[in-house]
């Protein structure tokens, strides 16, 4: 059998994009996907809406060790190129008030379908339910053996198998081993953009309660990041957009570096300064408002349960300070089945910054989340998938 010019391993966002751009350059392409359908993880992105990218797209929204690489890739295929790509595929895009960009249908299925239509138009061969068992370099070609015993040959390989988040949808980290056998190292993957575990009575008493809050991550006494957003109390700890946005550094500290003394500090009344809150509580005391109703209009009534003891005894200043600086000591994070992204992977310094070809093995390319790029929540990881897939595909 004549070898393909390139075999793309992984049929997610990066893999489909890489296959499209390689075929547009005239290469013969085989797209291998271990699941029974392409783009399964793409369908759940953005809560099913598919947050394609962000209006504020630059390297500052990615991990520090990868920013130089990300900047080089976005110079070749940045926001304008991504939007032009989807416009060409017939997918209009709109943005919300935060700068997140979505298909106008608000359906991830629309994104997947236009990509599938382009794969079909280009007559790109796809092998579904095709799990790669082994990859070897023999002479000038790569040989890939599947778990079913099939053998494919290619001049080049693109590893686009993603990280380890949502393993049931195909991302289980299996491509890391292929990279390592060709001399690559691995930054230990840990769950990214993930809910946090905290053994705290507040979480039990308030489980299911959502509020707007400001949250600060604190690792061994140092404040790392502060964000505002939704805070959700759960039976296991804390979740919501604010928690997800501060979780990456926390997850690395807990799961990779095995550090302790890690907290999130929550401002439960972010719409009012501490001095103003003291004055408001003092005014309520003076009016003779019952302590059981002291926080009405400031917090949902359920907060009386965890605050019952302090509300009965403390003065306005003590109560205000607690509400503005409530600490939650963290014991861990939730696992891969709940993590939105992966922090870790093949180091950015091990690929060529203009082509994403391996510095260790000629003809081996990478795209997407398999690289240790670690974009923030808000469309940045998918933006990296489109950009890196396009650049890798154009490099064939």
Q: For the chain, percent helix, then strand, then coil, each to nearest 5?
A: 40, 25, 35
* Domain stops at, among 333, 362, 383: 333
Considering the domain architecture, whether residues 299 and 243 belong to the same structural domain is answered as: yes
- pLDDT value of residue 1: 67
- Measured CA to CA, the distance from residue 367 to residue 377 in angstroms comes to 18
Residues 219 and 82 in one domain: no
Cα–Cα distances (Å) from 360 to 8, 365, 367, in that order, read 18, 10, 16
Does 259 lie in the same domain as 178? no
- Residue 61 burial (C-beta neighbours within 10 Å; 0-12, 13-18, 19+): buried
Question: Which residue range(s) make up the domain with 273?
Answer: 196-333
Could you give the residue ranges of the DSSP H alpha helices within 215-324?
241-251, 274-286, 304-313, 316-324
pLDDT at 138 (0 to 100) = 87
Q: Looking at the structure, do residues 228 and 158 belong to the same domain, yes or no?
A: no
Q: Which of 292, 312, 333 is the last residue of a domain?
A: 333
Residue 31 structure tokens = 């797209």
* Among 305, 333, 361, residue at a domain's last position: 333
How far apart, in Å, are the Cα atoms of 281 and each of 259, 270, 274, 355? 38, 15, 10, 60
Q: Are residues 178 and 202 in the same domain?
A: no
Q: Which two tokens stand for residue 155?
A: 């001049």
Predicted confidence at residue 170, as pLDDT, reads 87
Distance CA 93, CA 87 (A): 8
Same domain, 179 and 217: no
Contacts of 244 (CB under 8 A, 6+ apart): 193, 194, 195, 340, 377
pLDDT of residue 201: 96
Q: Are residues 288 and 155 in the same domain?
A: no
My answer on whether 135 and 200 are in the same domain is: no
Contact 376, 62 (CB under 8 A): yes
Report how many domains make up the chain: 2
Indicate the length of the chain as a whole number: 396
Q: Are residues 24 and 154 in the same domain?
A: yes
Q: How far apart are CA 206 and CA 352, in angstroms?
A: 49
Q: The domain spanning residue 156 has which CATH number?
A: 3.50.50.60
User: CA-CA distance, 171 to 9, in Å (whole number)?
Assistant: 12
- 126 and 18 in a common domain: yes
Same domain, 23 and 100: yes
Task: Report helix, strand or coil for 188.
Answer: strand
At 380, list the tokens.
């940045």
Same domain, yes or no: 93 and 56:
yes
What is the token pair recorded at 124?
């790109």
What the block records as the tokens of 95 is 């943005």
Per-residue pLDDT of the chain (396 residues), as tens digits, is 689 999 999 999 999 999 999 999 999 999 999 999 999 999 999 889 999 999 999 999 999 999 999 999 999 999 999 999 999 999 999 999 999 999 999 999 999 999 999 999 999 999 999 999 999 998 889 999 999 999 999 999 999 999 999 998 888 999 999 999 999 999 999 999 999 999 999 999 999 999 999 999 999 999 999 999 999 999 999 999 999 999 999 999 999 999 999 999 999 999 999 999 999 999 999 999 999 999 999 999 999 999 999 999 999 999 999 999 999 999 999 999 999 999 999 999 999 999 999 999 999 999 999 999 999 999 999 999 999 999 999 999
| E strand map for the chain | 4-9, 29-32, 53-54, 93-95, 100-103, 125-127, 132-138, 141-146, 151-159, 187-192, 196-197, 210-219, 222-233, 237-239, 262-267, 326-329, 332-333, 341-345, 364-366
């Amino acid at each position: 059998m004549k070898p393909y010019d390139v075999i793309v391993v992984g049929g997610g966002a990066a893999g489909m994009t890489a296959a499209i751009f390689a075929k547009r350059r005239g290469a013969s392409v085989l797209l291998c996907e271990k699941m029974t359908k392409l783009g399964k993880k793409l369908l759940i992105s953005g809560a099913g809406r598919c947050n394609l990218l962000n209006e504020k797209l630059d390297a500052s929204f990615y991990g520090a060790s990868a920013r130089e690489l990300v900047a080089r890739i976005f110079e070749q295929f940045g926001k304008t190129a991504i939007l032009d790509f989807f416009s060409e595929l017939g997918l209009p895009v709109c943005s919300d008030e935060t700068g997140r960009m979505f298909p106008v249908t608000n359906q991830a299925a629309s994104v997947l379908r236009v990509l599938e239509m382009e794969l079909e138009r280009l007559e790109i061969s796809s092998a579904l339910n095709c799990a790669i068992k082994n990859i070897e370099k023999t002479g000038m070609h790569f040989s890939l053996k599947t778990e079913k015993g099939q053998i494919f040959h290619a001049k080049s390989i693109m590893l686009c198998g993603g990280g380890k988040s949502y393993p049931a949808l195909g991302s289980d980290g299996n491509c890391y081993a292929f990279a390592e056998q060709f001399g690559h190292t691995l930054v230990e993957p840990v769950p990214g953009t993930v809910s946090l575990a905290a053994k705290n009575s507040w979480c039990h008493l308030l489980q299911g309660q959502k509020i707007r809050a400001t949250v600060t991550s604190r690792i061994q006494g140092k404040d790392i990041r502060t964000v505002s957003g939704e805070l959700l109390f759960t039976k296991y700890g804390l979740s919501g957009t604010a928690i997800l946005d501060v979780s990456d550094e926390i997850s690395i500290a807990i799961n990779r570096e095995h550090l302790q003394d890690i907290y999130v500090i929550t401002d439960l009344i972010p719409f009012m300064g501490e001095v103003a809150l003291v004055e408001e509580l003092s005014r309520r005391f003076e009016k003779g408002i019952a302590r059981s109703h002291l926080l009405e209009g400031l917090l949902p009534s359920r907060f009386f349960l965890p605050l019952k003891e302090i509300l009965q005894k403390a003065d306005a200043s003590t109560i205000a300070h607690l509400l503005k600086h409530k600490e939650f000591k963290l014991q861990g994070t939730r696992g891969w089945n709940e993590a939105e992204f992966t922090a870790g992977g093949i180091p950015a310094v091990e690929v060529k910054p203009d082509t994403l070809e391996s510095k260790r093995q000629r003809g081996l390319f990478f795209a997407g989340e398999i690289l240790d790029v670690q974009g923030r929540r808000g469309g940045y990881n998918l933006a990296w998938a489109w950009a890196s897939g396009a650049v890798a595909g154009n490099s064939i």
